[in-house]
Amino acid sequence: MPEIGAQEWKAAKGPFAVVFGLPAAWLLLFFLVPLGIIWAYSFGRTAGLTGIAIDGSLANYARAADPVYISVFVKSLGYAALTTLLCLIVGFPVALAITFASNRAKVWLLLLVMLPFWTNLLIRTYALMAVLRTQGFLNHALNWVGLGPWPMLHNNFAVVVGLVYVNLPFLVLPLYSALDRLDRSLLEASLDLGAGHIRTIREIVIPLALPGIFSGILITFIPAMGSYLTPDLLGGPDSQLIANVIERQFKRANDWPFGSALSFVLMYLTFIAIAMQAIIARRRRRITP
């Protein structure tokens, strides 16, 4: 009896529906439906203390264009871009080292990269607070050499450090995946022709790893842009990002329609970033023979 993979599409519809049906229903019920409700709220207004009247108005989106909120979006973009750049600077050598490590060392290095995912983000953030606070481990070390203490918590520095700490694995893993698939013979040929290691990395490794670099940048940039917990716990009054503003609209201001509009503006920006990454990848495939 032939396997399902060898059958025609019509004959495989039944098994495919059984396998795909439950996840699709779960996704529809617990993701798309709530998302659709929030999207509808963004075209409404508050009615009384707890009610929301959906009237199709664009007033919430017009309010989101206020310079105050535009400045918060721009600041969030800046934080996300800086976080992504720092993760790329730190993560590329790490991914390169993992790629060329021995098989035994590679397993342990990958385990170290993924180890933070085994701990709750809140616990990791409090651990970072213990390191950065005035009486923390880092300032104790600086005091010991006569260079401290420095204010490292509840400021922009702490937010950037926290965002890099949280999002670094999201960049290292795609980079490693792209670098591990490189044709090693191209690197050996470059070195044999006298290019040197730095030039080989610049002219051979980086161009071939661009798909992984773009994917890692996107995977890092999007969570950093919408980060809430890190700036809330590590930042000060001037370190709040757009996710913190959205949280205040839902919880403290009880303005769900405006919070929904801000949420979807952030989502639209995410879609734009994904579309730009897809366009760049498509153009690169056309250029590359």
Q: What's the average model confidence in pLDDT over 123-131?
A: 91
Q: Count CA atoms closer than 13 A to 88's CA, side-chain side.
A: 19
User: Kind and range of the H or E element at 51?
Assistant: strand 51-54
Q: Which of 74-78, 147-151, 196-200, 268-272 is the least confident region?
A: 147-151
**Topology, domain 63-287:** MetI-like fold (1.10.3720)
Measured CA distances, 154 to 76, 136, 148, 232 (Å): 17, 13, 17, 9
Token representation of residue 132: 């950065």
- Decide if 116 contacts 124 (C-beta within 8 A): yes
Length of the chain measured in residues: 289
Q: Which helix (H) or strand (E) holds 54?
A: strand 51-54
* 113 half-sphere exposure, CB direction, 13 A CA radius: 25
The conformation of residue 134, written as its DSSP 8-state character, comes to T
DSSP 8-class letter at 117: G
Dist CA 120 CA 118 (whole Å): 7
72-97 confidence digits (pLDDT tens):
999 999 999 999 999 999 999 999 99
Inform me whether the pLDDT recorded for 15 exceeds 60.
yes
Going by C-alpha positions, the residue among 120, 72, 82 that lies closest to residue 221 is 82
What burial letters (b/e) apply to 158-175, b meaning 16+ CB within 10 Å? bbbbbbbbbbbbbbbbbb
| AA identity, residue 94 | V
Structure confidence by residue, pLDDT tens digits, 19-40: 788 888 898 999 999 999 999 9
CA distance 71 to 207: 35
Residue type, 165: Y
pLDDT at 1: 44
pLDDT confidence bin for 12, thresholds 50/70/90: low
Rounded to the nearest 5 percent, the helix, strand and coil shares of the chain are: 75, 5, 20
* Domain spans of the chain, in order of start: 63-287
- pLDDT, the chain, mean: 86
Among 215, 222, 216, CA closest to 77 = 222
Q: Which of 260, 279, 273, 271 is nearest to 58 (CA)?
A: 260
Please give the model's pTM, rounded to 2 decimal places: 0.85
Burial zone of 271 (CB within 10 Å; 0-12 exposed, 13-18 middle, 19+ buried)? exposed
**Nearest by Cα to 99 from 187, 215, 24:** 187
What does each C-alpha distance from 6 to 1, 2, 12, 153 come to in angstroms?
A: 10, 6, 9, 60
Do 191 and 200 form a contact (C-beta atoms < 8 A)?
Answer: yes
Query: Which has the closest alpha carbon to 250: 234, 228, 233, 235?
Result: 228
